[in-house]
Amino acid sequence: MSRYLRTLIIVLIVLGVLYGVDIVFHGRLISPYFARIAMLSGIAITLAVSLNLINGFTGQFSIGHAGFMAVGAYSSAYFSVNYGVRLAESLGGGSLGWMVSLFLATIVGAVCAGFAGLVVGVPSLRLKGDYLAIVTLGFGQIIVVFLNNIEAVGGARGYSGIPIVKSFFWIFLIAILTIVVVYNIVHSAFGRALISIREDELAAEAMGVNTTRYKVMAFVISSAMAGAGGVLLAHFDGYLNPKSFEFIKSFEILIMIILGGLGSIVGSVLGAIVLTILPEALRGFAEYRMVIYSLLLIILMITRPQGLLGGNNALKIWRARRRARSAAAKAQIVDAPAESSSDRNPTENPPGKEHA
């Protein structure tokens, strides 16, 4: 009981802090430029953490994240333009009305992107190997071709007139939700199944893990979250262009999680922030930016393939917890395995994961 109370208090505190920062941002107490970068980092965090679920924890390789983002962005923008505005106005047009409207738009975007993930994931994830990479790459290209040709959403001119709901509160709420969901998935039985697939798909299958099912589930969740990130982006500037969802975008998200370390949530959050700020710092070398990125990526892969913060953080934490449990059971079991590195704090239990 007290654990639920604690969770509730944490949730309330987080909401309060977010709301407070939101007021600071809206009151223009800090420079709009800084506010913009902070909010873009929030969107980037959502995208990076969700991609990490499939690339980092499940060990599959998706390189079309921007495609799912585009699906979420365009479907929610279509919803907002055609229904959301009316809905918000009928609810009084105040910030509450917009909240409800944006909430519904987010659901629309996430569901559409999740469905796209299902369509892409089922044929390619049945197979082992690198098929997902090539299918998602193709999907990312094709979605841009389609968006360029659908007149209802502006075609190649771009989709303008989307209601702008630039809210720090909403952006970071989604970002934190993504982190919490991914964290809890990774630290559940579902997550252990995903990690077992990453470590050895054949062995996981032999242990009774329905690998296709788990891979598809993880992929759909990841795509839906990317869609939610797209929703935020759509309502950020009020304008969408198919060009901004091309392969380069997927690649940027990929770099974020690789830089931070595949399979590290903290790493992908940091990677997202660094790679949102870095282009601003490198503004003078805009045309060399991608050259620098790609060189950086190759060098990183050669020298430190697990990423800067990598080394399977989640797995380490899980092992530490298992070690802690076995230590607790020492009373019964005589020869517990000798622990050389039990100095790390094993109490990082996520809420809601305690079971006998």
Partner 1 sequence: MSTFLQQLINGISLGAIYSLIALGYTMVYGVLKLINFAHGDVYMVGAFMGYYLANGLGVRAAQAIGMSANGLVARGLLGSGDLQPSLVTALIVMLLAMAICAALGVIIERLAYRPVRKYSRLTALITAIGVSLLLENGGQVVFGADPKFFPELFKKRNIDLVGGASINSADVVVLIIALALMIGLQLVVYRSKTGRAMRAVSFNLQSAKLMGINTDRIIAFTFALGSALAAAAGVLVAIRIPRIDPLMGILVGLKAFVAAVLGGIGNIPGAMLGGLLIGITETMVVGYLSPTYKDAVAFAILILILLFRPSGLLGTVAQEKV
Write out the residues near partner 1 by the rule CB under 8 A. Answer: 59, 61, 63, 123-124, 126-127, 130-131, 133-135, 137-139, 141-142, 145-146, 149, 202, 247, 251, 254, 258, 262, 287-288, 290-291, 293-295, 297-298, 301-302, 305
Q: How far is the CB of 156 from partner 1 (least distance, A)?
A: 11
Judged on CB neighbours under 10 Å (0-12, 13-18, 19+), 234 is buried
CB of 43 to partner 1, least distance (A): 22
How far apart are the C-alpha atoms of 207 and 292, rounded to whole Å? 43
Could you tell me the smallest distance in angstroms from the CB atom of residue 283 to partner 1? 17
Helical (H) or strand (E) element with 83: none
Instruction: With beta carbons less than 8 A apart as the criterion, state whether 169 and 99 touch.
Output: no
Shortest separation between residue 247's beta carbon and partner 1, angstroms: 7
Task: Name the residue nearer to partner 1 (CB basis): 149 or 210.
Answer: 149
Distance CA 13, CA 24 (A): 16
Orientation of helix 168-186 relative to helix 189-199, angle to 10°? 70
Residue closer to partner 1 (CB basis): 68 or 98: 68
Q: For partner 1, give the closer residue by CB, 84 or 117.
A: 117
Query: What span, in angstroms and rounded, lies between the C-alpha atoms of 245 and 228?
Result: 14
User: Rounded to whole angstroms, what are the CA distances from 145 to 81, 112, 160?
Assistant: 22, 18, 18
The amino acid that residue 270 corresponds to is L
| Closer residue to partner 1 in complex, CB, 81/262 | 262
- CB 67, min distance to partner 1, A: 11
Q: How far apart are CA 37 and CA 40, in angstroms?
A: 5
Could you tell me the smallest distance in angstroms from the CB atom of residue 122 to partner 1? 8
Task: Name the residue nearer to partner 1 (CB basis): 4 or 288.
Answer: 288
Residues in the chain: 356
Give the integer Cα–Cα distance in Å for 41 and 35. Answer: 10
Nearer to partner 1, 18 or 135 (CB): 135
